[in-house]
Amino acid sequence: MTDFLGNHLNLNVGLLLPEIILAVGSVLVVFLDMFWEKAGRGSAPLVTFLTLIAAGVASASDIDAVDDFARMVSIDNFTTFFRFMFIGVGIMLVIGGWEYVDKHVNHPAEFYALLLLSTVGAIFMASARDLLIAYLGIEVLSFSLYIAVSLGKNDNRAGEAGLKYVLLGGVASAMLLYGLSLLYGVAGSTQYGDIAGALQGDLTGLHMPLILGLTLIVSGLGFKVSAVPFHMWAPDAYEGAPMPVTAYLSATSKGATLALFLRWFGGPLLPAIGDWQWMMAVIATLTMVFGNLIALQQHNVKRLLAYSSIAQGGFMLMAVTTVSDISASALLVHLGGYVITNLALFLAIIQFYNRTGKEEITDFAGLSRTNPYLAVVITAGLFSLAGMPLLAGFFTKFILFQAVVQGGFLWLVVVAVVGSTVSLFYYLQVIRQMYIYEPVGDASRWTISGSGYIATGVLLAAIVFVGIQGAPLYTVADRAAFALFDGAPVAAAAGHAAPAAPAAAPKAGGH
């Protein structure tokens, strides 16, 4: 089939099978709860888990594929990388968070349906090759999260968090959509390839609309990734949302936005790098500085991790600033380690909350005596976020910082290193409570559920494995970045020399 311009359209819906499975699964969960309430409530986690597994199996068939659906969605290793990441996040949240959801979330079935549906939106953000499809993906993810954030049971903070999130999110979406309309006016197309071609041509008289459009796009995406000064929603949303939703915000929502950053700024917007690179450098700097400094003042562990997530987003925006196949690969490596680490932390905190119902930093006093295993998981997660050796964060930060330095932004890495040092102080506040102070109240030993052990154990092992032997993650991320840039030497387009890959992690794409 061809479109009105005579371009061949591939309408093989099998290419979208993982997304179709996830969408059908979300509808099935809702219908089970609607017509068989008791059975639906009990079976929702199982149906969600099986749906995610089926989607993961379907995604495996697209490894090393190079195809597209109707010139709207790209099916390549970049898409496959994020499919597995987002599906993996969902699986871990179902295994490690079902007890919390059952006790502390209103309408559990709707939560699981929103988890599946938002995963569809996140995947389309990573795979779109047309502005309209990308925007639809953003809205599917955003509207699902607007609802999920407010699902907390008997928690007044949930409604306030949901209201702030939806109001500020609406403003951000409007800014982004207006920016995209200006970009369409400049380029005359919503297709990524056509936009890149137009921006390489004569832009006489169109430079001002382009600058305004880029500013609005950066602002809109900055909100989604909780970058300073667009971060105002994050601390309240993280604190008020149910903990599995908070974990999802820090992992899938942030990952999907960074995937979109790479798709846009490493593709159609790359010819205009001189117009937006300085914006990204400023935002990355502000995000790292303010995220780490304000985290020092927090006393609630969810708010602390919110500001930690903001600062980590600043680290990752450095790679967008120096966009190339090398820095994109480094960003995917760091994002993989960050998602693993954050999930381990949040699932451990969920298990702690299931037992105690508390989330203040001082409430973790003596945890090493009452539950040494959880104390180890939390400690490993916090040290990994700080970038301590032998853990995932050290390896992934090393790769990321090296790519940014070789991309010509040494001063950004200096800011990041100072920020990492500051972060160690507030992470140690939690560790000090667990290991130095005595438990308050009941000091007896307690254990977590079997599913809690499985989820946190797998993630703890992954943190250590990536920290010691990170080459497999590097190889997978490198193949994904190579697909994103289609093997083109984009470092030259960005005005930087292409850096060599670290000797410990050889390049897989042959570039």
Give buried/exposed letters for 418-429 (b at 16+ CB in 10 A, else e).
ebbebbbebbeb
At residue 259, φ and ψ (nearest 5 deg) are: -60, -40
C-alpha 79, offset from chain centre: 14
Residue 413 CA to residue 56 CA, distance in Å, equals 36
Residue 133 CA: distances (Å) to CA of 53, 74, 121, 128, 260 = 25, 11, 10, 6, 11
Tokens coding 48: 């969600």
Residue given tokens 């990752």 in the structure block: 316
pLDDT at 3: 58
User: What are the pLDDT digits (tens) for 130-185?
Assistant: 999 999 999 999 999 999 998 888 777 888 888 889 988 999 999 999 999 999 99
Q: Is the peptide bond before 506 cis (omega within 30 degrees of 0)?
A: no
Helix (H, G, I), strand (E, B) or coil at 435: helix
- Answer for the pair 32, 109: CB distance below 8 angstroms, yes or no: yes
Adjacent-strand bridge partners of 105: 152
pLDDT at 39: 58
Which DSSP state fits 65? Answer: -
pLDDT at 222: 93
Q: How many CB atoms lie within 10 A of CB 31?
A: 13
- Answer for the pair 416, 288: CB distance below 8 angstroms, yes or no: yes
pLDDT at 86: 96
| Mean per-residue pLDDT pooled into runs of 10, the chain (511 residues) | 63 91 94 72 87 95 86 92 96 94 88 95 94 94 92 81 88 94 93 91 85 94 91 89 92 94 92 92 95 92 93 94 92 95 95 90 92 95 93 94 92 94 93 90 84 94 94 93 66 37 38 36
